[in-house]
Structure 1
């Protein structure tokens, strides 16, 4: 069960400062609710997806690979 911050708490915090658990949970919930979301919700969901994808690419590159 998710016990992190809710969207109300997170709305004033940049996505870059959300932890991965928060991003994953709210992405999942928005994916379930997508048929019911307005344009603002759809836009936030797309932003969440971009943040998750960006972090995935960031973690795929190990610092030792850069040398």
Structure 2
């Protein structure tokens, strides 16, 4: 399935949620969609759980800034 079709389906789901459920349902569907997207990326192996918890290192090897 192409990314355009996935975007179309996601947009339609958000549109239906907004129309029938109001703004609260729209936000809920968007948040659950983002969680599902991240879970899918984790299971596919494109993303690692440690990526959410590691801080980017800048500076020396020991992580200290100058």
Task: Please state which band the TM-score falls in when normalised by the shorter chain.
Answer: 0.3 to 0.5
Structure with max Cα Rg: 2
**Greater relative contact order (Cα 8 A, min sep 6): structure 1 or 2?**
1
TM-score, normalized by length of structure 1? 0.40
Structure with a larger share of its residues in helix: 1
TM-score, normalized by length of structure 2? 0.41
